[in-house]
Chains A and B, each alone.
Chain A
Amino acid sequence: MDHMEYVLSILPFIASGLKLTAKIYIATLIFALPVGLLAAIGKVKGPKIITKILYLYTWIWRGTPLLLQLFFMFYGLPIIGIRLSPFAAATITYTLNSGAYLTEIFRGGIESIDKGQYEAAKALGMTYSQTMRRIIIPQTVRRVLPPTCSEAVNLVKETALLAVIGMPDLLRIATQIFTRDFNITPFIVAFVLYLIISSVLVRLFSTLEKKYSIYE
């Protein structure tokens, strides 16, 4: 069997792994972005009890290994009687982990906006929520795009930890084919696929950056 044919023959398996990776990745982003934004606003402006809880949240989730967090969700929760589907457990873990990083990214972005912007908005009669929605957040978005991009790329690679807890993601499938055929081609295919996804993301973010920098 020549090389190209071999690659084609394993593609359907690889595609199933890629699909799971993509599903968890997209679900995580959909949930983690609002979690990060709301938690960031809570940290900047919330009542003391809220800022304390959020501080605890980012401290724990940024301060411990993601793999350990996955272990707790997969093997720890069932012990106390909480049973989640593997997909739900994975999505929740990745969301909370990524959300913690995004919280700090967004908080830094919000705090980098000059206080004169709040004062001008207040002097014009805007409420705090109007000020955030129309004045502060749009400027924050522009500033946090670069660090958000690197978090989004990190997350792609972090999904590979799913393989360790036995979920059939891209890397896990590649590993299975490798063990079956004792051929490293599946690893090369996975390698290329991860690289393509990351590159597309970087491309996407630089387009966004250009779009948002028209006013600079």
Chain B
Amino acid sequence: MGGHLNVNHLIFLGHGALWTVGLSVIALVGGGIVGFAIALARISPLKSVRLASAAYVQLVQGTPLLVILFLGYFGLAAIGLQVSPLVAASASLTLYVAAYLGEIWRGSIQSVPKPQWEAAEGLALSRTQRMLKVILPQAIRIATPPTVGFMVQIIKNTSLASVVGFAELMRSGQIVNNSLFEPFVIYAIIAVVYFAMCYPLSLFSQRLERRMGRGRVNLAPA
């Protein structure tokens, strides 16, 4: 056996945890930018844009993240694009997160009551002005609780990046376990660390949702 769990192992796991956070941030930012574009495309006045973005969302939502990660890492290599585990994991998670955030945000935009659009239209605002000054500020309030909730999913899903050899928390745990062979202790530690990252976000999301209930947004004008 490879000895006992010591502080060096814990530091190694700590690095992995930092990469989990880093990968989550990359996925959130990348997925957020692409997802915002997807949300706008889903409600575009152009039918072709709506169809293309809907097809993208269906395709990604109908594919396991694990498969997307393999495709990103091994697939790109097969066509001659050698990418690092970090790039492969970032790109795959971005595409994955974008499809979900795009749908959450499309729903939020569309749940701003239609008369708000009409009132803005009646005031001669352009489509862009209506979106930026009237609809999005209201949609953001609606979108915040589910978006924070989805961040929990992102954090947990980064663990799948371990399969392409990216040393985030899960992969770090596997590496430590390979030398110590104490799976229960090590994976219990890892579970606690994931929980410690996700639970505050879950609580925050719930609190936001409760606050929404008595917020300024009036979802059903008289």
The answer to whether A and B assemble together is no
Binding site for B on A (CB under 8 A): none
Binding site for A on B (CB under 8 A): none
